[in-house]
A and B are shown apart, each in its own frame.
Chain A
Amino acid sequence: MEMVIFFLFAALAVGSALVVVLHRNPVYSTLSLVLTLISLAVLFVLLGAPFIAALQVLIYTGAIVVLFLFVVMLLNIGREEASGERGLLQKVAAGVGALALLAFVALAYWGAYGTREVGPLTEDFVSLEVLATQLFSDYLLAFELVGLLLLVAVIAATVLAARLGNTPGGGESDPALPEAGEEGI
């Protein structure tokens, strides 16, 4: 049963990851990423991390990917046009590089662990209480710093995305980019 669920969601994750990378339309890519993330959340549950799975669904798919989708639709990004011969060369090189990376890492994993199985899940491992105790004792400083980081990120995002009154292209009328004519910068 676990095997069936693993293969189902692993195949779903890989398939939707390929769609993320290959689809020309960014809206489909973003929505496909949602599918990948939810499949991974199921795998997290199989690995005995239900809290991480819940965070994955709530934060990643609920907040981050929706933010992506919002920006994609706000900027009205069209389909990427086909690239020339140089683009093809780049694609082949990237594909070969990624395959080499995969082979290298896979061989290392296989050599180290093979088909070694782990014992059944224990109550202690799945328990949120144990996780939270560790988070709020050993990792308390990191936890506080992450809170600070999120605050800084919110301020930075607001400053970056805000329209500043005296910058070119800003202001109320929003003219179609005065310095766009500067060719060959």
Chain B
Amino acid sequence: MVPVSWYLLLAALLFAIGTAGALTRRNGITIFLSIELMLNSVNLTLVAYSRLLDDHTGQLVVFFVLAVAAAEAAVGLALFIALYRHRRTIDLNRINLMRW
């Protein structure tokens, strides 16, 4: 059997990779992909805890996270399309209209 803490460590590693990506990339879509990666690492944590505690609640939360991620992707990508139509770029360094 694989110890559950290994799954938790893997999830933490994926979360760290996603964080680094979201902080360093400038392409909006790639930042979005990094955020999806972070969401998924949290899903892995939830399923691992569900196994550890022998409780289904973690899996049900993952179900809701999936639904919210789908909604987030739909709205976020529509925002990027609208943004691209107006500015012809989704480089987030150049989208600084509201930056102080």
Contacts and interface: CB of A to CB of B under 8 A. Distances in A.
Interface of A: 2-3, 6, 10, 13-14, 17-18, 20-22, 26, 29-30, 33, 36-37, 40, 43-44, 46-49, 51-52, 55-56, 59-60, 63-65, 67-68, 71-72, 74-75, 77, 80, 83, 87, 90-91, 93-95, 97-99, 101-102, 105-106, 109-110, 112-120, 122, 125, 130-131, 134-135, 139, 142, 146, 149-150, 152-154, 156-158, 160-161, 163, 168-170, 176-177, 179-180, 185
A33 B36 contact: yes
B5 A21 contact: no
Contacts of B91: 80
- Chain A contact residues: over half helix, strand or loop, or mixed? helix
- Chain B contact residues: over half helix, strand or loop, or mixed? helix
Contacts, number: 246
B73 A64 contact: yes
Nearest to A18: B17
Given A36-B40, A56-B66, A156-B75, A26 B27 contact: yes
Interface of B: 1-10, 12-21, 23-27, 29-30, 32-34, 36-37, 40, 43-44, 47-48, 50-52, 54, 56-57, 59-60, 62-64, 66-75, 77-82, 84-88, 90-91, 96-97
Nearest to B79: A160
Given A40-B44, A52-B47, A10 B78 contact: no
Given A10-B10, A75-B80, A160-B78, A59 B66 contact: yes
5 closest residue pairs by CB, A with B = A21-B21, A153-B71, A94-B23, A160-B78, A102-B16
Given A40-B43, A106-B12, A17 B18 contact: yes
A106 B84 contact: no
Contact of A131 (B5, B60, B88): B60
A19 B94 CA distance: 24
A60 B17 contact: no
